[in-house]
Amino acid sequence: MRDFYPADMAWREKVFGAFRDAARGAAFEPYDACVVESFELLSRKAGEEVSEQIYHFLDKSERHLALRPEMTPTLARMVAQRQKELSFPLKWTTIAQCFRYERMTKGRKREHYQWNLDIVGEDSVLAEVEVIGTAVDALRRMGLTTADFKVHVSSRRMLGEMLAESGIPPERHAQVFLALDKRGKMPDEEIAAMLRDGGLGDAEVAATFAIMDTKDFSRCPELVELFRLAEVAGFADALVFDIGVIRGLSYYTGIVFECFDTKGEFRAIFGGGRYDNLLTTIGGEPTGAVGLGFGDVVVTELLKARLGEDAATEPKGIAVGFMTPGERECALRLARRLRSEGECVALALRPQKPKKFFARAGETSAKAVFVGPDDVAKGVARLKDLATREETEICLAPAKS
Ligand code: HAM
């Protein structure tokens, strides 16, 4: 599991800040739930990778519980529980701590924070546009552009239709999707073997691979509409059609998407899609839904690579230091006054030589005041802008209280 030292927290705050600002900008309402869920709710989708990665345990009353590997089943449970009272469509967001017992690789950890955006109760593709557009907005707020990333989109419905036209019956599609999702992660021969295990003959396996070369999505009205509306919403340059996007979770029913860095160096930045049947499978009324999960791990690696390791720690506020014990109270009084004016003040805790004080101040603060005996005598010190080296006078008079 992860420890967050202050330098790591600076990155987390930068990333979470963009998540929250983007969600607020698009009027998603925050919600939350406990990280412990019933194992049964989380594991109902057998055959999926995440199902096998769940941390689970029995509590003292022998209840079978688990740490959530994702938020979507919890969201579906919460919505189904209050389906009569809630007004739809609802737009909900959360930053959920998730746990997956998976092999630790670049971009994949056993614990991660996952920003979730979901719109429940809307069949129109405008829901996809809002969800994807908000995630693109967050990436832009973090300092990336569409030259750094692309959202790869496809449609499981379209792929299902194409498989059916090749003679592969719908009841085999879930298996085919799970196998095709492994493309790029394992050799094609192994995927072919998985397809044969799923009941496909040689001709059907060949047809399936041929379908995966499709570059044209004009037969899929919802994809055509998505690309058109993305133009209006201002993020069409972030979208690419990619029939290879399948998604490993079996609840997706329509448009699916996954965001990658353009250089192909990192794992998926975020992923999601439409899942119109999940609520019914847990006892709710039929309700269309679309959403995504956006982890903190990959995007932080990408930001460090593109913006620099130190890009999260901007010097801010004012450092206040003093030369001898005689100026200690004067410095403390100045800190009190500046803080009451809303400033962030890093007060030195012991007397220092000016050189040492300014060296440390330069790492964390934008400005600095160093109080020596002469300054106390004059009642005025110098406030130095550490970037421009400009100096202004600052009064050392006590705060009016
Ligand atoms: P997912 O593709 O399994 O989808 O995960 C979504 C994102 O979470 C990934 O793209 C990645 O950023 C991050 N992530 C997943 N596992 C890890 C890990 N072990 N370490 C670091 N980051 C990770 C879902 O979970 C769906 N529930 C998303 C969703 C919400 N669909 C509809 N609404």
- 380-385 and 367-371: which strand pairing? antiparallel
**Of the candidates 299, 353, 378, 307, the residue with the CA atom closest to the CA atom of residue 16:** 299
Cβ of 113 less than 6 Å from ligand 1: no
Which residue minimizes the CA distance to atom 21 of ligand 1? 108
The amino acid at residue 301 is E
Question: How far, CA to CA in Å, does 59 sit from each of 42, 71, 291?
Answer: 16, 21, 32
pLDDT in tens, the chain (401 residues): 999 999 999 999 999 999 999 999 999 999 999 999 999 999 876 567 888 899 999 999 999 999 999 999 999 999 999 999 999 999 999 999 999 998 888 899 999 999 999 999 999 999 999 999 999 999 999 999 999 999 999 999 999 999 999 999 998 898 888 889 888 888 999 999 999 988 899 999 999 999 999 999 999 999 999 999 999 999 999 999 999 999 988 899 999 999 999 999 999 999 999 999 989 988 888 899 999 999 999 999 999 999 999 999 888 999 999 999 999 999 999 999 999 999 999 999 999 999 999 999 998 899 999 999 999 999 999 999 999 999 999 999 765 54
The amino acid at residue 110 is R
Burial 289-300 (b: 16+ CB within 10 A, else e): bbbbbbbbbbbb
Residue spans of alpha helices (H) in 166-295: 173-180, 188-197, 202-211, 221-233, 278-281
The amino acid at residue 200 is L
* Ligand 1 centroid – CA 391 distance (Å): 49
| Side-chain half-sphere CA neighbours of 196 within 13 A | 10
pLDDT of residue 178: 87
Burial 14-48 (b: 16+ CB within 10 A, else e): bbbebbbebbeebebeebeeeeebebeebbebeeb
pTM here is 0.93
Name 385's Cβ contacts closer than 8 Å, sequence gap at least 6.
366, 367, 391, 392
pLDDT of residue 399: 52
pLDDT of residue 184: 83
Cβ of 114 less than 6 Å from ligand 1: yes
Ordered by where they begin, the domains of the chain are: 6-307 (3.30.930.10), 315-395 (3.40.50.800)
* Ligand 1 centroid – CA 294 distance (Å): 6
* Ligand 1 centroid – CA 49 distance (Å): 12
Angle between helix axes 126-141 and 221-233 (nearest 10 degrees) is: 40
* Atom nearest to 247 CA in ligand 1: 2
Which residue minimizes the CA distance to atom 15 of ligand 1? 295
Residue 151's CB is within 10 A of a number of other CB atoms, namely 26
What are the tens digits of pLDDT across the range 231-283?
999 999 999 999 999 998 889 999 999 999 999 999 999 999 999 998 998 88
Residue spans of alpha helices (H) in 53-170: 72-81, 126-141, 156-165
Phi, psi of 70 (to 5 degrees): -160, 170
Q: Tell me the best of 70, 74, 303 to mutate to test the pocket of ligand 1, counting ligand atoms within 8 Å of each CB and taking the most.
A: 70
Which residue minimizes the CA distance to atom 18 of ligand 1? 108
Q: Tell me the best of 111, 114, 279 to mutate to test the pocket of ligand 1, counting ligand atoms within 8 Å of each CB and taking the most.
A: 114
Q: Are 204 and 168 in contact (CB under 8 A)?
A: yes
Whether residue 89 is preceded by a cis peptide bond, meaning omega within 30 degrees of 0, is yes
Cβ of 295 less than 6 Å from ligand 1: yes
* Ligand 1 centroid – CA 272 distance (Å): 8
Q: Are 141 and 22 in contact (CB under 8 A)?
A: yes
pLDDT of residue 314: 85
